[in-house]
Structure 1
């Protein structure tokens, strides 16, 4: 279920990642959620990068998979993360950092799966999780310094 845009915000304030210093082109990237198991399995066979707070799996979609302007993202946490309350909290945090980072750093035509880590995703400071995802995207896309 999609939430309507807030009318009380200026266009430059609309959505995560729209702060100063952000590319306007990055805001044209649309995020969609992965829903099918087959998409998760294809991402699991592709590139991956582990950080302290999360694991990122990423794959470039082929041209026949449609919607080349979309960035698709999925979230998962195993029972190792904890009980249902901890797993849901971890997934909420992963969704929040994805909404903040992927419009600016993600690449259209790619599928990303964010996997929560036991003892880290729930307890790690939010700013560190944002840094973890940013670093993982740089490594995946070959922009390592």
Structure 2
């Protein structure tokens, strides 16, 4: 599993521009809003989910989106979704609760986690995500996030909100 410095090296090797700021650890969107100051761009929430077939999903949405898990499961064709356990999160993405991020897909070498992205991420400024820990925030363009996902072998499904 990568650490933040290894992740930054991976982004550099892909030619992906990124900017990182350090801050106190945050565990919720509300905490992040209170601590981020004037950090421009999209701020996200990341849901690590599973279904009864043991399929894993990482859903990345703009932070203020309301996500109805029942409807989300229907839209994705995944059936009933629930949150993955901290152990499952660590095993598949190599991060702890509060540090869930699309950048953790670099740790999913087997490609078992499916990813779904909010189409709203493509509009406007950079996407702000944790670089595997919740005490830092890394900004990269939406296009570069897609390049990163492609490099990890993850093809995103696109979500239109409201679901």
Q: Same-fold call, TM > 0.5?
A: no
State the TM-score, normalizing by the size of structure 2. Answer: 0.28
State the TM-score, normalizing by the size of structure 1. Answer: 0.30
Structure having the higher strand fraction is 2
Structure having the higher helix fraction is 1
